[in-house]
Chains A and B, each alone.
Chain A
Amino acid sequence: MKRALFDALQAARAAKRPAVVATALGDGRQSLIVGDEAEGELPASEAIRAAARRALRDDKSHTIEAEHGPVFVQAFNTPLRMLVVGAVHISQALAPMAALAGYAVTIVDPRRSFATAARFPGVTLTHDWPDEAIDKIGLDARTAVVTLTHDPKIDDPALERALRSDCFYIGCLGSTRTHKARLGRLAELGFGEKDFARIHGPVGLDIGAQSPAEIAVSIVAEVTAVLRAEPAAAAAA
């Protein structure tokens, strides 16, 4: 890979812009496609651009038969993110696990005694209220939102924002009874069954988790299952 192309790719990734590298497998010529812009030695034909769009949409790299032989189309999608509401014990296990699974983790908790650097070394923390924090960082289709305080004052504003976004996963800690009460409050805000179906509550796969770390495993597993579900299955879920 030419240095200029490599640097441009890294710049796009740093700017959190989806990028695609197309490589002619025969001679190694490449081009970088970011949005409508393309640069590099390999001319970005319409077929290659269409393949690039598909690779980003499906988050799946693939090879196409182009005019002059096979071209590998590699997607460098925007990073996965996880917004964790509540700097609680479970979050201490969840943050490093999610980071290992590839998520840029942000923990939001307005309670300063909870969200301390000592308890969360190396994790991005914010003491804003969740709705304010979300308005700043934004939620997109590559973001998971997990609420863990089970304090309506803190969880609900985040949940409201999450339901109005296209974030791919919403999970809420709390017993079945807590969850029912939560849905009741959301109904008063005008949310309905279709919204409720997006919420995973109680959060996490049912693996009999007990300790905070085990619950974190169940959450990372569930988020993964939703992320990797076939598009059709996700739409039906």
Chain B
Amino acid sequence: MAEAASLKSDDVLATAGAWKKAGKGVALATVVTTWGSSPRPVGSQLAVSDRQEMEGSVSGGCIEGAVVLEAQKVIADGKPRLLDFGVTNEQAWEVGLACGGKVQVFVERLD
């Protein structure tokens, strides 16, 4: 119960900071736009490490895998990326949103 009552478990940025401190490469992904139904509201964040760890979420689990992969590129070259996901995306088969919504995710490196 003590664990469940801790707010720390929910703090994506604190986790990102801790990873960075431990010498890992870290990227932050943030939902910046949603259209139609989408499971996580604008502002939701996912922290990704270069060990492919993740904390938080940007969808109901539909696109996290793809975001983690893109995040590795962002960690490597430091260039922020704006990713589009949705039913019209050519990746729909792999990472389309089951809900039929669309989301735009901004991925940046924590320097």
Chain B residues with Cβ under 8 A from A105's Cβ? 5
A123: chain B residues at CB < 8 Å are: 5
What's the dominant secondary structure at chain B's contact region? mixed
Q: Which B6-61 residues sit within 8 Å CB-CB of chain A?
A: 6-7, 10, 13-14, 16-17, 20, 28, 30, 32-33, 42-43
A60 within 8 A of B: yes
Total A-B residue contacts, Cβ distance less than 8 Å = 68
Task: For chain B, give the interface size range.
Answer: 20 to 34
Chain B residues near A63 (CB, 8 Å)? 32-33
| Per-residue contact bits, chain A 179-218, to B (CB 8 Å; 1 contact, 0 not) | 0000000000000000000000000000000000000000
CA of A6 to CA of B45 in the docked complex: distance in angstroms?
14
CB–CB A99/B7 < 8 A = yes
* Nearest chain B CB to A156 CB, angstrom units: 28
A63 to B35, CA, bound (A): 13
B30 adjacent to A74 (CB under 8 Å): yes
Which of the residues A10, A25, A62, A102 comes within 8 Å of B42, measured between beta carbons? A62
- SS of A interface (majority): mixed
Q: Report which B residues bind A (CB closer than 8 A).
A: 1-7, 10, 13-14, 16-17, 20, 28, 30, 32-33, 42-43, 79-80, 82, 106, 108-111
Q: A74-B30, A122-B6 are in contact. List 12 more A-B contacts (CB 8 A).
A: A1-B110, A2-B111, A6-B17, A25-B32, A28-B80, A28-B108, A61-B43, A72-B30, A104-B7, A121-B2, A121-B5, A122-B5
